[in-house]
Amino acid sequence: MPSIQPSVAHLDVYQRTPAWVLPHPSRPVPKLEHWLYRTLPVTQRIRRGVTYALHEAGVLALAGFPRLLRTAQWAGRAHIRRAVVDPALADKLTPRYDMGCKRILISNTYYPALAQPDVDVITDRIASVTPAGIVNAGGVEHPVDTIVLATGFSVVDSPSYRLVHGRHGRPLLDKFAQQGAYLGTTAHGFPNLFVLSGPNTGIGDTSLVYMIESQIAYVLDCLRTMRRHGIGTVEVRHDIHAAFFAEMLHATEGTVWASGCHSWYLDDKSRNLTLWPGFKFAFRRRTRRFDTGSYTCTPEVVVARRLGGRHLHWADAI
């Protein structure tokens, strides 16, 4: 929105729920800092470690002690006051839910763009879209030339999951919607299936890349284990999968994500099927090695017999 605002004659922003927006800490990296990182690479690793630790500490507020978020909420309100002079607009932009219950946004340009005279923030519900514009619940039609949809994410109900079917033809979408995924990666009834960024691997305070790297290490160790022991298929056990799902639901209790707001983190039953409800280093520790005991492992020779005697190369099994 801040990118297109200077290029249009008028911009209507239809806001369903205001978001918590915090200042962006981005800054130019000075030449001295470039030189330091190049000369002493350990300093860059230290800087990265500090950045990681600060973001990881956010779990204490989001999942452990939500009251710690009050300071951040004060900063969010101050961010609005600095950019928005109109008290009515500032009131529209101020969230009424705990920070972190919905996705926290980081921007230095969002509020200044909304405060421009050619921008209107509309909070009335949309009743219909006509050939000429958008009609709100009060019957007022706002003429538009272009509509931009920016309505959030589909995570566990991703359309791609409808294309994958497991044993007995069951869609992966149904499995995830009912029980999530074990370590966000595998599912009972779907042998030799590995998913990256699956259920309960989302994050609300740091980089998803960290979670993906952890999953990749887990899958690679699984493939090495299969090759080493002549395993044709691996399938997470039903009891292990069910216990993990129960663990995720229990861990979400008392967190800010379960504090009452409606977000794409939760499904239509208000269950968290999206976020990892804890420290990310704990996820990395659990995915560091493939836990063979949590899986039903079928030898290659057995799989080959089931395939009617056709020789099964290890690569075929994965």
- Which position has the higher pLDDT, 156 or 119? 119
Please, which pLDDT band fits residue 121 given cuts at 50, 70 and 90?
Answer: very high
Residues 167 and 256 in one domain: yes
- What per-residue confidence (pLDDT) applies to 57? 87
Residues 163 and 111 in one domain: no
Please, which pLDDT band fits residue 304 given cuts at 50, 70 and 90?
Answer: low
Q: Which residues contact 53 (CB under 8 A, 6 or more apart)?
A: none
Residues 39 and 186 in one domain: no
Q: What is the pLDDT of residues 218-231, one digit of tens each?
A: 999 999 999 999 99
Last residue of a domain, one of 65, 89, 120: 120
What are the angstrom distances between the C-alpha of 251 and each of 30, 62, 199, 254, 256? 42, 12, 14, 8, 11
Q: Which two tokens stand for residue 265?
A: 């983190």
Residues 205 and 80 in one domain: no
pTM, 2 dp: 0.85
Domains of the chain: total: 2
Residue 82 domain-assigned (yes or no): yes
- What per-residue confidence (pLDDT) applies to 59? 87
Residue 154 domain-assigned (yes or no): no
Q: Are 72 and 44 in contact (CB under 8 A)?
A: no
Last residue of a domain, one of 66, 91, 120: 120
Q: Are 201 and 211 in contact (CB under 8 A)?
A: yes
Tell me the torsion sign for CA atoms 122, 127, 128, 132. Answer: negative
Please, which pLDDT band fits residue 47 given cuts at 50, 70 and 90?
Answer: very high
Please, which pLDDT band fits residue 69 given cuts at 50, 70 and 90?
Answer: confident
Residue 232 domain-assigned (yes or no): yes
Residue 160 one-letter amino acid: S
Residues 169 and 275 in one domain: yes
Residue 151 domain-assigned (yes or no): no
Residue 219 domain-assigned (yes or no): yes
Please, which pLDDT band fits residue 239 given cuts at 50, 70 and 90?
Answer: very high
Please, which pLDDT band fits residue 302 given cuts at 50, 70 and 90?
Answer: low
Please, which pLDDT band fits residue 291 given cuts at 50, 70 and 90?
Answer: very high
* pLDDT at 315 exceeding the cut of 60: no
- What per-residue confidence (pLDDT) applies to 206? 83
Domain that residue 42 falls in: 5-120
